[in-house]
Amino acid sequence: MLTHELLRDKGIVLIRPQGPIEAGDFESVAKVVDPYIEQNGKLRGVLIEAASFPGWDSFAALVSHLRFVRDHHRLITKIAA
């Protein structure tokens, strides 16, 4: 499970894994990020706050993660962990 927060004034999304990533996690991140990108052209950054990578809870979750990366990697300036 991911929690996420868009810092609109900075153009940065904070992502915090709270357990294995689920299939709908990146879909909910996209619902927040996509309107911002549409309005501003790009997202300045993604900050991932995690002590370790918790993995995915299913193959569908992995596919959802890969789709998010495919659809957004050119629209995000920097990624930090």
Kindly state the tokens that stand for 55.
Answer: 């993995």
| Contact yes or no for 29/4 (Cβ under 8 A) | yes
Residues 6 or more apart whose Cβ sits within 8 Å of residue 30: 68, 71, 72
Mean pLDDT confidence for 55-73: 96
Query: Which of the 8 DSSP states describes residue 75?
Result: G
Judge contact between 61 and 22, C-beta under 8 A.
Answer: yes
Residue type, 49: E
What confidence tens digit (pLDDT) does each residue in 5-58 have? 999 999 999 999 999 999 999 999 999 999 999 999 999 999 999 999 999 999
* SS3 state of residue 20: coil
